[in-house]
Structures are given as structure tokens and as C-alpha cells.
Amino acid sequence: MTVTYPDGSTVQLKKGSTFLDAAIAISEGFARKVLAAKINHEFYDLNRQIPGDASVTFMTFDDEAGRKLYWHSTAHVMAAAVKRLFPDAKVAIGPAIDEGFYYDFDVEKPFTEEDLEKIEAEMKAVVNEDSVFEREDISRKDALKLFTDMKEPYKIELAGELEDKNVSLYRLAGFTDLCRGPHIPSSGKIKAFKLLSSAGAYWRGDEKNRMLQRIYGISFPDKKMLKERLEWLEEVKKRDHRILGAKLELYSVDEETGAGLILWHPKGSIIRETIENYWREEHRKRGYELVFTPHIASERVYQRSGHLENYAENMYSPMDIDGTPYYVKPMNCPGHIKIFQSKMRSYRDLPIRLCELGTVYRYERSGVLHGMLRVRGFTQDDSHIFCTPEQAVDEVIGVLNFVVELMGIFGYTFKAYLSTRPEKSLGDEQSWESATTALKEALKRTNVEYELDPGEGVFYGPKIDIKLRDVLGRLWQGPTIQVDFNLANRFDINYIGKDGSEHRVVMIHRVVLGSMERFIGGLIEHYAGAFPVWLAPVQAVVMPLTDAQRDFAVSLVDKMRLVGLRVDLDDRNEKINRKIRDAEEMKVPYMLILGKREIETDTVSLRKRRDGDLGAVPVEDIIERIRVENKEKTRD
């Protein structure tokens, strides 16, 4: 049979040869790096036979898919170790995630640090045994009987939901799992790993289900990579927005108020207000008009929009008002549609760009709530553009250019994804194709590279998703652009064309920041809490050395506040080194120290975070310096 490699070269192999044979045909060294193989979109273990003439792609740890199967295989090793140490543990799921893997277990008591150490030691034993991942294809009926005999309720539940008549099992070191695969050839390929933490996790993320114990881990083909990743994880910990948010007094979540609801503290509110003011200014420059819509609306509008049909699981239960069900809004779009429809529009009026910092409410299971990043109530920087079909591509281009400029201000690069029609959706195929083509054309004309994300569009249209890359290389969900032909039809949104007849409008949904909660939560981690001057809640702290300088310090603070600067006074009876240390802990950009000499010369002894002592600077110079940084939005 003929095997074709990605570079177009071929090799002749005997029938019955395995994928490992095809890798060895390239070189022994390459074969040692290979983890699995792929034909078209189907993955194979290396020890499986090649089905016939085929174009084969190999997976290594350098590939995203290769890393995922490596981490998933390590999750199996961990499960095997847990079952050896805790035979009564019931196994649930153990997927690879973006930064490693986890496995969920049903055990009587939560795992302790000592338990994790024992599990890690047992994993080393499984690795040293170089146990082979053995695949077995059996009927779903036999799998149900097997897991019933093994008393594994979660596997029984999962197997029972599969539609396939046949399923695959993988066996490793006495552990049997229901799994599609593929896996690495043997446990010995796992050279370095670390169990990171354990935490409670509801089965399937539903708080109505049993609480399981989830163990997180990471693994690599060599110890150096593991060391680098552990150092990176330490940096991630330092930047955790939940820790910094409390330390810097930016926000809180109160149990009595409700999970997933953010309480913005004064300092956090300053950051938000500054970003929102900038957002309004930039939108007005681009021809957007600011609107406000109610927090609740009648069910009639959500029946018409399709939200009750396609999005009800994310909406909260209605309240009865005069016999009519009302919902807190999950989206801003119906309100914007109604504003557009408040009078007849001409083609000469289009495009109309309505924007709103609109607060919406969506149900999230308690198991997935995460600080500011996953919440139940949040404010979107929402906008809806109503335009003619001919204007659609140019409008999307305008949004993409806006995104590029805006993200540059905050120091983000980004990665774009084009998400196409999901299974659960509205509208005809032609409308979806037209909308997708418009997005592709806009991406092409702006030279924005993108990846296709099949089936991940929203129910009313395809979208461009922009994921922001922070200083640690992590991706955050950010801007999104959606071309929507469906809501225009459902709400009968029209304009009068040149011919005097009514024509259907094209509606573009877009956010350029996302939600304020998630965006600012991400910014906290991006900047490690050290916001640039224009965003810093406190831009400078004035520190008199003694009470003799206090009056001058007060007048300086007042003077700086009068010109719009955010300045605090630290006149505590503390040594200056303590005051400096406290200001640095709170990530304040500038420290203005006043002693007798400074007052005599109308200067301040200036310190900047990270840079230290900058010497004596005239008072007017430091005021102008901060004003320029505010205006130019410079980053440290």
C-alpha cells in the first residue's frame, strides 16, 4: 500500500503495517517523537494498522492536538494510580484542557496534599512500568455490562448516552476507561509531570449533582519544559485577578448578595469609568450613537427574537407584571431593534450605528463561576449596526480596524476565528452563506489572519471571534462581530431604498471589549495589577516627611486634583520607607516625597514604580508629565 506524507513524498509498505511502521520509514528519531497519527479528521493509535492507501499526518508534542492527547494520556496514568491507591474511588471524566489535564473522582473525603504526593509517586511507578495503552472495541451493550460489573456509575451514565452501537475502551496498568482515544503508545513516554491541585467540582458542572474531587496536572516530554511551565504557573498565580482584585481594593463578590454578581469598589470603578469614557469618545468619533435600554422586557419580544426558542437555558425565570411574563434581558439587541423601528428609515440614513454599555443577565452554573471572568450579571460594550447589504462588508472592516487600534492601546495582540453555523440555529442556508461570505471578505481585505471554527456561530448568524493574547501568551475572549440576516426577518426590519420600496436591513452585532467585567479582569492579570498611569485608580501619592510639610502636601494634592489627576495624600505618622513600600504594594505609578528642601525649591522628590528614585522634579513638570500620559495613554 502507498502512504503519502504531508510534504507529498510517499512510501510503499506491506499491508497490515502500522502507523508506527510509517513513522519509522521516515526515521527512527522521528518515530520516537511521534505520539499518534491522523487520516483526514480521524485519529489513530500508532500500533493500529493503516487501513489502506492513505495520506497520513503524524502528531507530536509540538502540535496542539499532540499535546492534548499527551495530556489526556497522562490523565489515564493518574486515574490508574488513584484506583491503585483508592480502590473504592469512582472515576468520572479526565479530559485534556488548555494547560494540562484533570480527572474527576467520586471519593468519600477530599484529596489532601499528602494524597496528591502519594498519587504522584504511584504515577511514577506506572510510568516506569512502561505500560501499553491497549485499545478494545466492543459493543455498547457489553460496555454497559462491564462498567456495571465494575460498579462505575459515571461510566455507565456516559456509555448509556452514546448513540454508537460499538464503543472503544482503553486499558492501562489495570485501569479500564471508556475513551475514543487515541493515546500515546505507552506510559513510558511521559517523562515529566506534576499534580498541581485538587478542588471540588460538581458532576457535569451542575450544583444539583454530586460533588466530585478534581485533580489537575501537567506533563511534558522533558524536565526542562516542566520546570519552565511551573515557573510560568507561578507567574500566573501572582497575576490572579481574584487575589489582586481584593488586595488592590478593586471589586468583591458577596455571598449574601449572590454568586457571580460583581460589586465594583471605588478604585475598580475608576478603572471602569476611565475605560468607558474612552470607549464613548472613540465610538462618537466613528459615527456611533449612544442609547440606553431597559433591564427587563416582556416575553413577547424574546419569543419574536428567538431567544426563548434557542437561548432559554441561559435566561432567568420570568417575573409576572400585570399578568405578563417579563424577563431580565440576556441580550441588548431587541431593544436596539425597537429604537431603529421607532420611525421609518431611508437608505440615506444608513448605516445607523447604535451603541450601549448595556447590563445583561445570563444563567451560569455555580461550578463555572470564576471571579470577574465568568459571572451572571455583566455589562457589554454592545453595538448594532443597521445597514444595506452593500454596506455590510465595509461596516465589518470598520469594526475590525477599530479592534486593531483599540487593542493596541491596551497592549494586546490577538487571534481571530471565523465561527460558522451551529446545529441549533435560525434561518435558511442562503442567508447563512451570505453572512459568512461577508465576514470572510472583510477579514481578507483587512489582512487579518484567522482560523475556521466550524459550528461555533450563534443561533442567529456566523461570527468573528477575537481572542486577545496577553503578556503571558494566554488567550482571552474579547471582541466579536456577527452578521445577522435572521433577526431582521423575524422583526421585519426594513428601510426605504432608492426605488421607493421597502428592503430588508442587514444587522451587525458587535462588541469591541466584550463585557466590562471580563475585560477588566483580564487587564488586571495582563498588567499584574500595575495599571498604566491613564488607568491607575491612584496615579500618585504625595508623602510629606514630617508634619511641617503637611500643609504644602495638602495644597499640592488639591492643585493636582483640580486639573483632573487622581492623587492621594499619605500623611500617616510612619517612616518614609514604609510609605513607599505600601504605595508600591498598591501598584501606584508615582510617589511624590516632600521634605524641607523640596518645599523651598517648589519641587518633589519623585519615585516611579519599577524605576525607583528619579530625583528632584519641579511640581509643574510632574503635573504635566501625568497629564501627557493621560492624554497619550502611554504604557509603562
Q: What is the pLDDT of residue 452?
A: 86
Q: What is the pLDDT of residue 432?
A: 84
What does each C-alpha distance from 609 to 6, 532, 575, 586, 614 come to in angstroms? Answer: 51, 11, 18, 10, 10
Superfamily of domain 64-230: Threonyl-trna Synthetase; Chain A, domain 2 (3.30.980.10)
477-498 mean pLDDT: 90
| DSSP assigned state of 317 | P
Q: What is the pLDDT of residue 476?
A: 87
317-343 mean pLDDT: 95
pLDDT class for 196, splitting at 50, 70, 90?
very high
Q: What is the pLDDT of residue 383?
A: 96
The helix (run of H) or strand (run of E) holding residue 356 is strand 352-361
The angle subtended at Cα 305 by Cα 494 and Cα 332, nearest 5°, is 90
510: pLDDT strictly greater than 90:
yes
What would the grid cell of residue 469 be? Answer: 493574547
Q: Is the peptide bond before 351 cis (omega within 30 degrees of 0)?
A: yes
Other CB atoms within 10 A of residue 421 CB: 22
Q: Which amino acid is at 76?
A: H
The region of weakest confidence among 194-208, 212-226, 500-514 is 194-208
223-242 mean pLDDT: 94
**Average pLDDT score, the chain:** 93
Q: CA 483 from chain center: how many Å?
A: 22
Q: What is the pLDDT of residue 487?
A: 86
Examine domains 2-59 and 540-632 and report if their fold is the same. no
What span, in angstroms and rounded, lies between the C-alpha atoms of 72 and 57? 20
pLDDT class for 318, splitting at 50, 70, 90?
very high
433: pLDDT strictly greater than 90:
no
344: pLDDT strictly greater than 80:
yes
263-526: which CATH architecture?
2-Layer Sandwich (3.30)
What span, in angstroms and rounded, lies between the C-alpha atoms of 374 and 521? 10
Superfamily of domain 540-632: Anticodon-binding domain (3.40.50.800)
2-59: which CATH architecture?
Roll (3.10)
Q: What is the pLDDT of residue 456?
A: 82
CA-based torsion, 111, 99, 464, 469: positive or negative: positive
Q: What is the pLDDT of residue 430?
A: 82
602-629 mean pLDDT: 94
| DSSP assigned state of 318 | P
What would the grid cell of residue 459 be? Answer: 443561533
Q: What is the pLDDT of residue 363?
A: 92
Longest CA span, the chain: 93
Q: What is the pLDDT of residue 330?
A: 94
Q: What is the pLDDT of residue 412?
A: 92
pLDDT class for 477, splitting at 50, 70, 90?
confident
pTM of the full structure = 0.85
Q: What is the pLDDT of residue 495?
A: 97
pLDDT class for 485, splitting at 50, 70, 90?
confident
* Sequence ranges of the domains in the chain: 2-59, 64-230, 263-526, 540-632
Report pLDDT digits (tens) over 52-61. Answer: 999 999 999 9
What span, in angstroms and rounded, lies between the C-alpha atoms of 287 and 515? 21
HSE toward the beta carbon, residue 352, CA cutoff 13 A:
22
What does each C-alpha distance from 635 to 410, 526, 557, 628 come to in angstroms? Answer: 8, 12, 24, 12
The three state secondary structure string of 416-470 is EEEECCCCCCCCCHHHHHHHHHHHHHHHHHCCCCEEEECCCCECCECEEEEEEEC
What span, in angstroms and rounded, lies between the C-alpha atoms of 475 and 468? 5
465-479 mean pLDDT: 89
The owner of cell 448578595 is 257
Report pLDDT digits (tens) over 268-307. Answer: 999 999 999 999 999 999 999 999 999 999 999 999 988 8
Report pLDDT digits (tens) over 1-54. Answer: 999 999 999 999 999 999 999 999 999 999 999 999 999 888 999 999 999 999
Q: What is the pLDDT of residue 604?
A: 94
Report pLDDT digits (tens) over 108-161. Answer: 999 999 999 999 999 999 999 999 999 999 999 999 999 999 999 999 999 999
Q: What is the pLDDT of residue 403?
A: 93
Q: What is the pLDDT of residue 395?
A: 94
What span, in angstroms and rounded, lies between the C-alpha atoms of 224 and 218? 13
What span, in angstroms and rounded, lies between the C-alpha atoms of 172 and 131? 6
475: pLDDT strictly greater than 90:
no
Residue positions annotated with a catalytic role: 333, 362, 380, 382, 384, 463, 509
